[in-house]
Chains A and B, each alone.
Chain A
Amino acid sequence: MRKSPANNMMLQTAMRYITIIVFAFSFYLFFAGHNSPGGGFIGGLMTASAFLILYLAFDKKIMKKVIPFDFTVLIGIGLLFGVGTGIASMLFDYPFLTQFFDYFPIPFFGDVELTTALSFDLGVYLVVVGAAMSIILVIAGDDE
Chain B
Amino acid sequence: MNNIIILPIIIPFIVGALLIIFAKHHKLQRVISGLTSIILLLFAIYLAVLVYMDGIIVLEAGDWPAPFGIVLVADMFATLMLLLTAILAIACLFFAFKTITPKRERFYFYPFYFFLLVGVNGAFLTGDIFNLFVFFEVLLLASYGLIVHGGTKYQLRESFKYVIINVFTSALFVVAVAWLYSVTGTLNMAHLSERVAELEQTGVVNTIAMMLFIVFATKGALFPLYFWLPKSYFGPPAAIAALFGGLLTKVGIYAIIRVFTLIFYHDAGYTHKTIITIAAGFTMLLGVLGAVSQFDFKRILSYHIISQVGYMVMGLGIFTPLAVAGAIYYIAHHMIVKTALFLFEGATKRVTGVSDLKQMGGLLKTHPWLAWLFFITAISLAGIPPFSGFFSKFPIILAGFQEGQYVIAGVALLVGLLTLFSMMKIFSYVFWGKQKHTEEQANIKIGKLLAPIAPLVALTIILGLAAEPMFQYSLEVAEQIMDPQIYVDSVLKE
Smallest CB gap from A127: residue in B: B17
A interface size (C-beta, 8 A): 18
Q: B452: CB under 8 A from chain A? A: no
B10 in contact with A83 (CB, 8 Å): yes
B99 to chain A, nearest CB (A): 25
B18 in contact with A80 (CB, 8 Å): yes
Q: B424: CB under 8 A from chain A? A: no
A78 to chain B, nearest CB (A): 8
Q: B60: CB under 8 A from chain A? A: yes
A93 vs B18: C-alpha distance in the bound complex, in angstroms? 25
The residues in A between 70 and 85 inclusive whose CB is less than 8 angstroms from any CB of B are 72-73, 75-77, 79-80, 83
Known A-B contacts A79-B16, A80-B14, A83-B14; the reply to A96 vs B21 at CB < 8 A is no
Q: B165: CB under 8 A from chain A? A: no
Complex interface: chain B residues within 8 A of A87 (CB) = 10
B442 to chain A, nearest CB (A): 43
Smallest CB gap from B71: residue in A: A95
Known A-B contacts A83-B10, A83-B14, A87-B10; the reply to A95 vs B21 at CB < 8 A is no
Complex partner residue of B63 from A72, A75, A77, A98, CB under 8 angstroms: A98
The interface centre, meaning the residue of B6, B20, B59 with most chain A CB atoms within 10 A of its CB, is B20
A83 in contact with B13 (CB, 8 Å): yes
The interface centre, meaning the residue of A75, A76, A96 with most chain B CB atoms within 10 A of its CB, is A96
Interface size class of B (residues with CB under 8 A): 20 to 34
Complex interface: chain B residues within 8 A of A95 (CB) = 1-3, 59-63
B3 in contact with A72 (CB, 8 Å): no
Interface string of A56-99 (1 = CB under 8 A from B): 00000000000000001101110110010011001001111111
Complex interface: chain A residues within 8 A of B163 (CB) = none
Complex interface: chain B residues within 8 A of A94 (CB) = 1, 63
Q: B45: CB under 8 A from chain A? A: no
Q: B23: CB under 8 A from chain A? A: yes
Complex interface: chain B residues within 8 A of A97 (CB) = 61-62
B68 to chain A, nearest CB (A): 13
Complex interface: chain A residues within 8 A of B19 (CB) = 76
A96 in contact with B62 (CB, 8 Å): yes
Complex interface: chain B residues within 8 A of A77 (CB) = 17, 21
Complex interface: chain A residues within 8 A of B6 (CB) = 86, 90, 96
B151 to chain A, nearest CB (A): 13
A75 in contact with B10 (CB, 8 Å): no
A79 in contact with B63 (CB, 8 Å): no
A90 to chain B, nearest CB (A): 5
The interface centre, meaning the residue of A73, A77, A86 with most chain B CB atoms within 10 A of its CB, is A86
A79 in contact with B13 (CB, 8 Å): yes
A140 vs B119: C-alpha distance in the bound complex, in angstroms? 31
Smallest CB gap from B19: residue in A: A76
Interface string of A25-39 (1 = CB under 8 A from B): 000000000000000
Complex interface: chain A residues within 8 A of B1 (CB) = 90, 93-95
A96 vs B60: C-alpha distance in the bound complex, in angstroms? 8
8 A-B residue pairs with Cβ-Cβ distance under 8 Å, sorted by A, are A72-B23, A76-B20, A79-B16, A86-B10, A90-B3, A93-B1, A95-B59, A96-B59
Nearest first, the 8 closest Cβ-Cβ pairs linking A and B are: A76-B20, A79-B17, A76-B21, A97-B62, A98-B63, A96-B6, A76-B17, A90-B3
Q: Besides A73-B20, A96-B10, 20 other CB < 8 A contacts?
A: A75-B20, A76-B111, A79-B13, A79-B17, A80-B18, A83-B10, A83-B13, A87-B10, A90-B1, A93-B1, A94-B1, A95-B2, A95-B59, A95-B61, A95-B63, A96-B6, A96-B59, A96-B62, A98-B63, A99-B62
